[in-house]
Amino acid sequence: MAKHNLNRVTLGLFLGFSAFALFSLSDASAKFIKGALPPFETAFFGAVFGLVILPFLQRRGDRWTAVFETPKRALWLLRFFAYPVGVMGSVTAFTHLSMAEAFVLMFLQPTYVTVISVLFLKEQVDLHRWAAVALGLLGVVIALHPGFRQLSIGHLGAVLAGLGGAISVVTFRAADPAEKKVSLFGAGILGGITVCFVAMLPYYRTPTNEELLLLASYGLLAAFANLVLMRATELAPAAWIGPTQYSQMIWAIILGSLIFGDHIDTPTLIGVMLIIGSGILTLHRERVRKTPLPPAIAASTPHVGAALLPENGGKTATGESTVKIVQPDTNKKGIGNDHKDCSHNHPERRQDASGDRLRNLQPERRGWS
């Protein structure tokens, strides 16, 4: 049994790394467009192609209108608008910056989550998490070394990408436990389609065949990456899968150097290491506190997002952080019974937020990342 569990976790980690490799290829597809299309248009087509993931988020018996159903309309609308802000920001960042430099600011998402959670959810943040925030900000200062290089709209886009993803993460934490994941995800993807469509109208240009292929690659690779990430979180604890998102920086350096001719200097590399350390420290503290982990940066911003959150938002009716493990009833016919919650009969099936069975939701990256 122990060997079987180890094999599951190993496969989960492999899939986690694979998912973020796919996210990086999706980012590269957007960067290949080189700003020939407005960022609103690129984001719009990315969201449209990302719709292919919706059927995988539905449960048996869910209607398509379930995407609009929510017990908390204000939070639904917040996700609706936060997602397109993040995705347009990420496209802008990858257009004007090297991939590595764009990720420097995007990887600050856990820092944004901490600050927003304190301001709006009134979370109690200990010294360790504030230290992680300070470490991340120091990393940004070192990596960007303001005063020695000119800041551009690309840097603003990267900040908005991380901020948009962070807002979505916070809305997930505040979501009603009964809200369906197709609604949690759908709010953002519908927002991406609607807001980006309106924004692109004055600047719309029909994509060439080559550009259309790149747009399809951008959206479909991100959608497929989310499916892989979902499977990864079914096999391994979120606390193990979460840090794999930082492998994107390795891919950013490799792809940027080999394909786009990007170069990373020593201060940027030092800053990147500090920011990654900040993110991992935050993930560790969230695991200790049994708080739902932030979604992967890529999944929560530029791409179709799959947030690494526990079932029912990670909370029971009493506010305890748990994951409900639902086992199929093999004694009855039909597959509809696999949604039956048996956890009240089997207390051992309740696990904390670092347990094996996690619910995959939309952020707000990246998909785009």
Q: In whole angstroms, what is the distance from residue 310 CA to residue 53 CA?
A: 19
Does residue 369 form part of some domain?
no
Q: With b meaning 16 or more CB within 10 Å and e meaning fewer, what string describes 247-270?
A: bbbebbbebbeeeeebebeeebee
Domain-embedded: residue 366:
no
| Predicted local distance difference test score (pLDDT) of residue 161 | 94
In a domain, 368, yes or no: no
Query: Bigger pLDDT: 290 or 316?
Result: 290
Within a domain: residue 367? no
| Nearest residue to 293 (alpha-carbon basis) of 14, 11, 16, 78 | 16
Q: Is residue 322 part of a domain?
A: yes
Q: Quick check: is 94 in a domain? A: yes
Partners of 239 in the β-ladder: none
Considering its fold, how many domains does the chain have in total? 1
> Is residue 136 a contact partner of residue 246, using CB atoms and an 8 Å limit?
no
- Mean pLDDT for 50-74 is 87
pLDDT tier, 84 (very low <50, low <70, confident <90, very high otherwise): very high
Q: Which of 75, 72, 79 is nearest to 364 (CA)?
A: 79
In a domain, 229, yes or no: yes
Higher pLDDT, residue 139 or 80? 80
Helices 109-120 and 266-288, packing angle to 10 deg: 40
Q: Which tens digits make up the pLDDT trace of 104-155?
A: 889 888 888 888 888 888 878 778 878 888 888 898 888 887 656 678 999 9
Residue 245: pLDDT band (50, 70, 90) is confident
Domain assignment present for residue 286? The answer is yes
Residue 268 has pLDDT above 50, yes or no: yes
- Which residues span the domain enclosing 284? 2-361
Instruction: Grade residue 23 by pLDDT with cuts at 50, 70 and 90.
Output: very high
Q: Which of 94-103, 106-115, 266-275, 284-293 has the highest mean pLDDT?
A: 94-103
Q: What string of DSSP letters covers 233-289?
A: HHHS-HHHHGGGGGHHHHHHHHHHHHTS-----HHHHHHHHHHHHHHHHHHHHHHHT
In this prediction, residue 4 has a pLDDT band, given cuts at 50, 70 and 90, of: low
Can you give the pTM of this predicted structure?
Answer: 0.74
pLDDT for the residue 139: 87
